[in-house]
């Protein structure tokens, strides 16, 4: 039941195989109770604004520490959460945790916006906007401090419904970002009809752009087009200085990736941020 064996081929399993896969069955059985058992936690990965080289925001990324299997990546258990109907409970937990963290950081004078990932099923949840509003009120967090990241594939699954919910959320003042842009089939022209503020270029185009002329051309074109449509651009998965510099020269607004920093626990994040500010770091440095 190792997580490693799953990594080697989980995405090409057929449904039929899935049902017999002992690793999946085990996760299915345990996920429901994981919240109550305190096995979930969030890590935070910073995003840097290229022009000013400042850290304006962090993305909350979910982790599950399984008592027997160890750390389970979200790509393994989020699809299961959707399948067994606990994704809304998990998203509520994530939002609660992220807003609590936002308030804590604010009290510590750490001025950082937080982005939370939504899942395909969350937009079908009529209660989502209501719950968001209640949580913002409960923690006294400004909606401007919160971004929701949504992948294009799940907007395309039900575009009419998605638009309605997104409008609702955006009217509250929450920012919206299209995650993994370039991997789905939607055009920027279509996305522009939604109340979207930023797009995140998928890391599959970014990770190797320094060595792959096609990738760098795609990235450059997306940035150009997005800017002309009035959208801000985040590049995710930046792993080296060369890509960082290329993105800067293309006018990319924000970058995120291991080259800047990996996802960190809240206390590590704070320590890193303070050290970074104190050392007066200049562009393209860790
Ligand atoms: P995502 O939102 O596109 O997040 C980016 C993923 O890339 C994260 O993986 C992050 O750790 C990883 N990453 C960051 N920088 C680099 C880099 O430089 N190189 C490479 N190769 N990878 C990098 P992670 O944390 O395993 O999350 C995977 C996906 O799981 C996320 O993709 C998101 O779709 C989903 N996810 C994570 N947390 C949540 C959550 O709270 N709710 C929901 N619904 N989905 C989540
Ligand atoms: Mg994301
Ligand atoms: Mg992404
Ligand atoms: Mg991605």
| pLDDT, tens digit, 9 for 90 and up, residues 17-30 | 567 789 999 999 99
User: Where is average pLDDT lowest: 20-24, 115-119, 194-198, 270-274?
Assistant: 20-24
Sign (positive or negative) of CA dihedral 141, 86, 29, 72: negative
Confidence band for 110, pLDDT divided at 50, 70 and 90: very high
In Å, how far are 9, 118, 220, 266 from 59, measured between CA atoms?
Answer: 27, 12, 23, 11
Ligand 3 midpoint to CA 127 (Å): 25
Mutate which of 72, 117, 202, 204 for ligand 1? The one with the most ligand atoms within 8 Å of its CB, which is: 117
Taking CA atoms only, the protein residue closest to ligand 1 atom 44 is 119
Ligand 1 atom at minimum distance from 122 CA: 44
Mutate which of 43, 201, 236, 263 for ligand 1? The one with the most ligand atoms within 8 Å of its CB, which is: 236
pLDDT given at position 1: 36
pLDDT digits (tens, 9 = 90+) for 218-227: 999 999 999 9
Confidence band for 285, pLDDT divided at 50, 70 and 90: very low
| Ligand 1 pocket, CB under 6 A | 45, 61-62, 73-75, 78, 94, 117-119, 149, 179-180, 203, 207, 236-239, 257-258, 263
pLDDT given at position 98: 98
Radius of gyration of the chain (CA): 19
Backbone angles phi, psi at 242, to 5 degrees: -60, -45
pLDDT digits (tens, 9 = 90+) for 186-217: 788 888 889 999 999 999 999 999 999 999 99
Tokens read off for 4: 């490693």
Integer distance in angstroms from the first to the last C-alpha of the chain?
36
Tokens read off for 203: 């890391």
Sequence-distant (6+) residues with CB within 8 A of 194 are: 155, 162, 163, 166, 176
Backbone angles phi, psi at 189, to 5 degrees: -60, -40
Ligand 2 midpoint to CA 117 (Å): 5
Could you give the CA distance from residue 140 to residue 133 in angstroms, rounded to a whole number?
10
Confidence band for 158, pLDDT divided at 50, 70 and 90: confident
Residues, the chain: 286
Taking CA atoms only, the protein residue closest to ligand 1 atom 4 is 61
Enumerate residues with CB within 5 Å of ligand 2 (an ion).
Answer: 117, 149, 179
In this prediction, the answer to ipTM > 0.95 reads yes
Give the closest ligand to the alpha carbon of residue 59: 2
Contact assessment for residue 267 and residue 245, using Cβ atoms and an 8 Å cutoff? no
Taking CA atoms only, the protein residue closest to ligand 1 atom 8 is 61
Backbone angles phi, psi at 48, to 5 degrees: -110, 135
Mean pLDDT to the nearest integer, 183-187? 80
User: Where is average pLDDT lowest: 78-82, 153-157, 193-197, 265-269?
Assistant: 153-157
In Å, how far are 55, 60, 113, 169 from 267, measured between CA atoms?
Answer: 16, 14, 16, 30
Closest CA to 94 of 41, 141, 140, 45: 41
Could you give the CA distance from residue 186 to residue 71 in angstroms, rounded to a whole number?
33
pLDDT given at position 252: 98
Q: Residues 84-89: contacts with CB within 8 Å, 24+ apart?
A: 84/28, 84/31, 84/32, 86/31, 86/32, 87/119, 87/121, 87/122, 88/121, 88/122, 88/125, 88/127, 88/128, 89/35
Taking CA atoms only, the protein residue closest to ligand 1 atom 15 is 257
């Amino acid at each position: 039941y190792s997580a490693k064996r799953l990594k080697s081929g989980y995405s090409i399993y057929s449904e039929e195989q899935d049902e017999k896969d002992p690793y999946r069955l085990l996760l299915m059985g345990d996920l429901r109770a994981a919240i109550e058992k305190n096995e979930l936690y969030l890590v935070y990965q910073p995003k840097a604004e290229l022009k000013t080289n400042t850290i304006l925001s962090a993305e909350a990324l979910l982790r599950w520490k399984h008592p027997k299997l160890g750390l389970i990546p979200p790509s393994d258990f989020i699809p299961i959460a959707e399948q067994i109907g606990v994704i809304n409970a998990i998203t509520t937990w994530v939002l609660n945790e992220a807003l609590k963290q936002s308030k804590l950081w604010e009290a510590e004078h750490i001025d950082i916006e937080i982005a939370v990932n939504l899942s395909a099923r969350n937009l079908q949840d009529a209660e989502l906007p209501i719950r968001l509003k209640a949580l913002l009120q409960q923690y006294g967090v400004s909606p401007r401090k919160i971004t929701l990241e949504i992948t294009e594939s799940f907007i395309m699954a039900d575009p009419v419904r998605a638009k309605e919910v997104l409008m609702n959320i955006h009217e509250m003042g929450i920012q919206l970002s299209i995650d993994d842009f370039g991997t789905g089939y939607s055009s920027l022209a279509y996305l522009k009809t939604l109340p979207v503020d930023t797009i995140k270029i998928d890391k599959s185009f970014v990770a190797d752009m320094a060595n792959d002329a096609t990738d760098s051309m795609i990235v450059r074109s997306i940035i150009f087009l997005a800017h002309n449509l009035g959208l801000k651009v985040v590049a995710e998965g930046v792993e080296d200085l060369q890509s960082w510099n290329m993105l800067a020269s293309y006018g990319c607004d924000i970058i995120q990736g291991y080259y800047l920093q990996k996802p960190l626990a809240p206390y590590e994040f704070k320590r890193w941020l303070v050290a970074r500010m104190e050392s007066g770091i200049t562009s393209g440095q860790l």
